[in-house]
Amino acid sequence: MSHAAEAGRPPGGGAPGRTTGGTGRPDGRRPEASGRPDDRDSPPAGMISVVVPVYNEQDNVDPLLESLEDALEGLGRPYELIVVDDGSTDATAARLREAVTRLPNLRVARLRGNFGQSAALAAGFDLARGELIVTMDGDRQNDPADIPRLIDRLKDGYDVVSGWRRDRQDALWSRRVPSRLANSLISWITGVYLHDYGCALKVYRREILRDIALYGEMHRFLPALARWVGASVGELPVTHWPRRSGVSKYGLGRTVRVLLDLLTVKFLMSYWTRPIQIFGLMGLLTGGAGVTLASVLSYQRIVQGIGLANRPILLLAVLLVLVGIQFVSIGLLGEMLVRTYHESQRKPVYIIREMMPEVPGSPSRPT
């Protein structure tokens, strides 16, 4: 087994998933393994939630849902399918609306606009009720038949198991090569060594995702963010199919965004609760260099009589001192913001247009 597959494995295995509790039936019996629970507020124990964000995948929706139903029925456990339509402009919404009428385990959330994959996943996580939450893309390149294998891997003590597209069916230079470089860089910076951060097929224990808030485009760093909150992360090779219909939504343009988001992840993992330590250190270094340089110049002017009027190095010394003060100030402001964040109410990064089917009393925005 590769060192990537052993990333974050705890000694002696991990804790079992948290049971949501409740049978959802007045007679105390549990609902059948397949089929919709009687009470949406009390999901049956052992439920699996599959979250699939989609955007303009009208030709992929129906085949994907059928293959998911086939894979999950074989598990013999209660499950639900949550499809988040991230503002599709084609016939995706119409296909999903029809699918809801014939698939009792399916719920669909249509967002008011194209908020991005991170926001769509956040919406799915808020709506999911299962003890285990599976994510995958809606382009049918992930194989639902791999879901039971990923879930079974949790028994090895992991809280998160990420898919590894070892035989990836994408273009070499525009997709695979940049992905390999990005995966190596992300693994090195975060310390969570995985072959394939970009694979959407993953399984999480519910309690891990409850402590992670998704903003911007942070979904690709979920395994690293999970490690940040104490999860153990594993990896498993999965099947990857060529795209059969539709157009890929990814390109080389996202490389810069990945690098910028990686800086955010590194900051969150290392200095999130103590920003003064990184900004204060930078301030001490630059300010200290400025004070040292100014001291040398003062000695030359006072003791040695060397003039400073035409020496730009004096301006550099003043600049370093001012930059050092700025860094320390930013660190102190960061400390204040961190404390404000932890004491304030989190706001959702998405707005749901409608729920299908409509649930009485269901809020349009999760609390």
| 145 and 261 fall within a common domain | yes
Question: Does residue 367 register a pLDDT over 70?
Answer: no
Task: Please state at what angle helix 275-302 crosses helix 313-343, rounded to 10 degrees.
Answer: 160
Q: What is the pLDDT of residue 366?
A: 43
Q: Are strands 352-356 and 106-111 parallel, antiparallel or unpaired?
A: antiparallel
Provide the pLDDT for residue 301.
86
Residue at 130 is within a domain: yes
Same domain as 291, residue 229: no
Whether residue 39 is predicted with pLDDT greater than 50 in this model: the reply is no
Percent of the chain with pLDDT over 90: 46
Q: Are 201 and 194 in contact (CB under 8 A)?
A: no
Residue 293 lies in a domain: yes
What Rg do the C-alpha atoms of the chain give, in angstroms?
25
- Residue that is last in its domain, among 233, 252, 271: 271
User: For residue 99, is it within any domain?
Assistant: yes
**Both structure tokens of 49:** 């939630």
Same-domain status, 333 and 265: no
The vertex-5 CA angle with 207 and 243, nearest 5°, equals 85
CA angle 301, 306, 312 (to 5 degrees): 85
**To the nearest whole number, what is the mean pLDDT of the chain?**
81
Distant-in-sequence, close-in-space partners of 288: CB < 8 Å, separation ≥ 6: 324
Which strands sit side by side in the sheet containing 106-111, from one edge to the other? 233-237, 160-164, 202-205, 132-135, 48-54, 79-85, 106-111, 352-356
Does any domain span residue 266? yes
The verdict on 252 and 329 lying in the same domain is no
Beta strands in 156-256 (DSSP E): 160-164, 202-205, 233-237
Are 239 and 279 found together in one domain? no
Query: Is residue 18 over pLDDT 80?
Result: no
Strand partners, 204: 133, 160
pLDDT of residue 347: 54
Same-domain pairing of 230 and 163: yes
Instruction: Please check whether residue 115 is in contact with residue 352, taking contact to mean a CB–CB distance below 8 angstroms.
Output: no
pLDDT for the residue 295: 93
Query: Has residue 7 been placed in a domain?
Result: no
- Tell me, yes or no, whether 258 and 163 share the same domain: yes
CB 51 within 8 A of CB 128: yes
Check residue 18 and report its DSSP letter.
P
Residues 6+ apart with CB under 8 A from 123: 84, 109, 111, 348, 350, 352, 366
Strands (E), the chain: 48-54, 79-85, 106-111, 132-135, 160-164, 202-205, 233-237, 352-356
Final residue of a structural domain among 271, 299, 325: 271
DSSP-based helix, strand, coil % in the chain, nearest 5? 45, 10, 45
In a domain, 205, yes or no: yes
List the one residue out of 311, 309, 326, 314 whose CA is nearest residue 290. 314
CATH of the domain at 110: 3.90.550.10
Who wins on pLDDT, 212 or 49? 49
Q: Are residues 57 and 156 in the same domain?
A: yes
What pTM was computed for the model?
0.70
Write out pLDDT tens, residues 52-69. 999 999 999 999 999 999
Domain boundary among 271, 288, 308: 271
pLDDT in tens, 221-249: 999 989 888 899 999 999 998 887 767 76
| CB neighbour list of residue 86: distance below 8 Å, 6 or more residues apart | 53, 54, 55, 111, 114, 115, 116, 117, 119, 120
Label residue 38 by pLDDT band (50, 70, 90). Answer: very low
> pLDDT tens-digit profile of 299-320?
888 888 888 878 889 899 999 9
Structural domain of 174: 48-271
Alpha carbon 135 to chain centroid, angstroms: 10
Same domain flag for 118 and 178: yes
